[in-house]
């Protein structure tokens, strides 16, 4: 497994349970910026969400695996300001 610095654009972000959480759009500071297409529905739609570095368990191939299951990890997502 690799570290946070090995995360690249277009990698899939998955929960500890293997469920898709999002796709990496980039890294901003200590957070993974997810693509807008994975932003959800309703008021969450059409803007970026961020995952904290602290939730990253490791890198496996082209996937970023989180330490929390997907349904829990999304509750920790931060929304884009503005």
Domain harbouring 61, CATH code: 2.30.30.240
**Are 73 and 59 a contacting pair, CB within 8 Å?**
no
Domain membership of residue 34 as a residue range:
4-79
Tally of structural domains, the chain: 1
Q: What global pTM score does this model have? A: 0.85
Q: What is the pLDDT along the chain (82 residues), one digit of tens a residue?
A: 468 889 999 999 999 999 999 999 999 999 999 998 866 544 455 678 899 999 999 999 999 999 999 999 988 888 776 4
Task: Cite the beta strand spans of 10-76 per DSSP E.
Answer: 12-14, 20-28, 31-34, 49-52, 56-60, 63-66
**Are 7 and 61 a contacting pair, CB within 8 Å?**
no
Sheet holding 63-66, edge to edge: 56-60, 63-66, 12-14, 20-28, 31-34, 49-52, 78-79
């Amino acid at each position: 497994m690799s570290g946070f610095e090995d995360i690249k654009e277009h990698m899939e972000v998955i929960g500890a349970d293997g469920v898709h959480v999002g796709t990496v759009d980039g890294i901003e500071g200590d957070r993974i910026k997810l693509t807008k297409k994975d932003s959800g529905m309703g008021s969450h739609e059409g803007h970026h969400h961020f995952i904290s570095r602290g939730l990253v368990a490791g890198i496996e191939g082209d996937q970023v695996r989180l330490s929390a299951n997907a349904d829990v990890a999304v509750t920790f997502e931060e929304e884009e300001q503005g």
